[in-house]
Amino acid sequence: MSMDAQSVSEKLRSSGLLRTQGLIGGKWLDSYDNKTIKVNNPATGEIIADVACMGTKETNDAIASSYEAFTSWSRLTAGERSKVLRRWYDLLIAHKEELGQLITLEQGKPLKEAIGEVAYGASFIEYYAEEAKRVYGDIIPPNLSDRRLLVLKQPVGVVGAITPWNFPLAMITRKVGPALASGCTVVVKPSELTPLTALAAAELALQAGVPPGALNVVMGNAPEIGDALLTSPQVRKITFTGSTAVGKKLMAAAAPTVKKVSLELGGNAPSIVFDDADLDVAVKGTLAAKFRNSGQTCVCANRVLVQDGIYDKFAEAFSEAVQKLEVGDGFRDGTTQGPLINDAAVQKVETFVQDAVSKGAKIIIGGKRHSLGMTFYEPTVIRDVSDNMIMSKEEIFGPVAPLIRFKTEEDAIRIANDTIAGLAAYIFTNSVQRSWRVFEALEYGLVGVNEGLISTEVAPFGGVKQSGLGREGSKYGMDEYLEIKYVCLGDMNRH
Ligand code: SIN
């Protein structure tokens, strides 16, 4: 049944999950100067809530409370932390409808996809509740007979987690899950565009027993919050998902206090369709990789490279599939494509499309704002795109699929790697030998073979080149929150 945004937000308000204050030291607080920022529904432009607009002072207090909480949280046994995380997971799942509604309200993605994000986001909490108990050290055969050598893994300390608007829940849980599991405490700064889901998740964390100060949420003045997190010597790690430009600035600003840094930055994912691909599999996989969240993911196919022999057939079948996508309000039944996050996002897409068309690319379908108005954009397929066009160099972050023609496997690998980004890539081929040759040659952190949706909590997510540092999810994601301590026990032959 379709819902309307107004009644959804009223219901959420009365359920206690629509929170507007920040969380510092276990207390819900307004900003100290009572400033607020408005959170909009991108599908309607309506204001959903006024939330606390916090800055330096609130962030410093959040850091102090996190620092204090670290002593007791890190000393709990892994099993004790695991139980708290498991309860948080259970609560996230028990409230998946409401959390999904919040995501659709503030971010715009269709409700079904939003509820899918809740399951995806919660899976990181479940996974790290389990993984908490598997942080093993090591015993090293000693170099001298009177010594014993040990390796301990210990939590890094206070973590600053700066998260984006495109996955208002999952990008938080993917960071907070391993941080809390390993014994770290966290100050989260969600995007000002989508703080409501973060606050609701934090409320559930409190209900699950996450102690005061172990998880704080501050939002509002991004430069002030970022500076406070980056300059504090008490914050020992910064983890960020967002643009490459901002990631580089954070990395530089983390240098004076030599913080550990994990960065999940922009991509320019190629989806490579070879002549020997199964056409249906290639269409379905590329569609999923391109149009998830209306093209607003870092792993979205940004360039669709199609081999000469299958180019026209693929262009036709793919465009037919894109034509069937339903654009609309995320609360309407049947919607598969929500709005873009804001007008700046639409303007960027328009500039990229105009640039491509002015240089000779041809629009097969779409190519303009949707008749629904607001920030809705038509799902678009453009053919004859070449490497001198902006859209083949930069992240589109919108529902536009550029088709680029190539002749040989070597060409495809060269074009795919000809970018500063290296997050995700997709290959469609029926040849096992070719798939190995190509995925080994691709300079990317994630590769999907005959599959367009590859993110999961059990596998490492992260990029190479300028797409970032470190990995999230999986057993590898835990290491980002741990320090290694080597202990040498001497004089061990004495009786
Ligand atoms: C992202 O867009 O940054 C995350 C996408 C994912 O987790 O699949």
CB neighbour class for 230 (10 Å; exposed up to 12, middle 13-18, buried from 19): buried
Other C-beta atoms within 10 Å of 280: how many? 10
Q: Is 455 in the pocket of ligand 1 (CB under 6 A)?
A: yes
Q: Is 167 in the pocket of ligand 1 (CB under 6 A)?
A: yes
Question: Tell me: the pLDDT tens digits for 170-191?
Answer: 999 999 999 999 999 999 999 9
- Cα 447 to middle of ligand 1, angstroms: 14
Q: Do 155 and 184 contact (CB within 8 A), yes or no?
A: yes
Residue carrying structure tokens 């053919």: 383
The per-residue pLDDT for 9 is 85
Question: How, if at all, do strands 468-469 and 260-264 pair?
Answer: antiparallel
Residue closest to 349 by CA, chosen among 295, 425, 415, 418: 295
List 240's β-bridge partners, or say none.
Answer: 162, 263
Distance (Å, whole) CA 445 – CA 469 = 10
Which strand ranges, in their side-by-side order, compose the sheet holding 148-155? 138-140, 148-155, 482-489
Distance (Å, whole) CA 108 – CA 125 = 24
CB neighbour class for 483 (10 Å; exposed up to 12, middle 13-18, buried from 19): middle
The one-letter amino acid at 14: S
The per-residue pLDDT for 13 is 86
Distance (Å, whole) CA 150 – CA 138 = 6
Q: Please state the atom number of ligand 1 nearest to the C-alpha of residue 298.
A: 2
Other C-beta atoms within 10 Å of 416: how many? 26
What string of H, E and C letters represents the secondary structure of 461-481? ECCCHHHEECCECHHHHHHCC
Residues comprising the chain, all counted: 495
Which residue's alpha carbon is at the smallest distance from atom 6 of ligand 1?
455
Q: Do 129 and 76 contact (CB within 8 A), yes or no?
A: no
Q: Is 467 in the pocket of ligand 1 (CB under 6 A)?
A: no
Q: Is 241 in the pocket of ligand 1 (CB under 6 A)?
A: yes
Which residue's alpha carbon is at the smallest distance from atom 5 of ligand 1?
297
Q: Is 169 in the pocket of ligand 1 (CB under 6 A)?
A: no
* Cα–Cα separations (whole angstroms), residue 156 to 63, 153, 217: 14, 9, 19
Q: Is 419 in the pocket of ligand 1 (CB under 6 A)?
A: no
Distance (Å, whole) CA 418 – CA 424 = 14
User: What is the phi/psi pair of residue 27, to 5°?
Assistant: -115, 140
- Cα 454 to middle of ligand 1, angstroms: 10
- Cα 175 to middle of ligand 1, angstroms: 12
* CA triple 283-284-290, angle to 5 deg: 85
The per-residue pLDDT for 1 is 43
- Cα 299 to middle of ligand 1, angstroms: 6
User: What is the phi/psi pair of residue 485, to 5°?
Assistant: -115, 125
State which of 239, 298, 467 you would mutate to test the pocket of ligand 1, scoring each by most atoms of that ligand within 8 A of its C-beta.
298
Q: Do 141 and 193 contact (CB within 8 A), yes or no?
A: no
- Cα 249 to middle of ligand 1, angstroms: 21
Per-residue confidence of the chain (495 residues) as pLDDT tens digits?
457 777 888 888 888 899 999 999 999 999 999 999 999 999 999 999 999 999 999 999 999 999 999 999 999 999 999 999 999 999 999 999 999 999 999 999 999 999 999 999 999 999 999 999 999 999 999 999 999 999 999 999 999 999 999 999 999 999 999 999 999 999 999 999 999 999 999 999 999 999 999 999 999 999 999 999 999 999 999 999 999 999 999 999 999 999 999 999 999 999 999 999 999 999 999 999 999 999 999 999 999 999 999 999 999 999 999 999 999 999 999 999 999 999 999 999 999 999 999 999 999 999 999 999 999 999 999 999 999 999 999 999 999 999 999 999 999 999 999 999 999 999 999 999 999 999 999 999 999 999 999 999 999 999 999 999 999 999 999 999 999 999 999 999 999
- Cα 294 to middle of ligand 1, angstroms: 13
- Cα 312 to middle of ligand 1, angstroms: 30
Q: Is 182 in the pocket of ligand 1 (CB under 6 A)?
A: no
Residue carrying structure tokens 């002593």: 71
Report pTM. Answer: 0.97
Q: Please state the atom number of ligand 1 nearest to the C-alpha of residue 164.
A: 3
Q: Is 298 in the pocket of ligand 1 (CB under 6 A)?
A: yes
State which of 117, 124, 127, 171 you would mutate to test the pocket of ligand 1, scoring each by most atoms of that ligand within 8 A of its C-beta.
171
Question: Tell me: the pLDDT tens digits for 394-415?
Answer: 999 999 999 999 999 999 999 9
Catalytic residue annotation: 264
Residue closest to 303 by CA, chosen among 267, 340, 276: 267
Q: Is 166 in the pocket of ligand 1 (CB under 6 A)?
A: yes
List 281's β-bridge partners, or say none.
Answer: none
* Cα–Cα separations (whole angstroms), residue 326 to 76, 234, 267, 339, 372: 49, 48, 26, 11, 12
State which of 239, 297, 454 you would mutate to test the pocket of ligand 1, scoring each by most atoms of that ligand within 8 A of its C-beta.
297
Rg (CA), the chain: 23
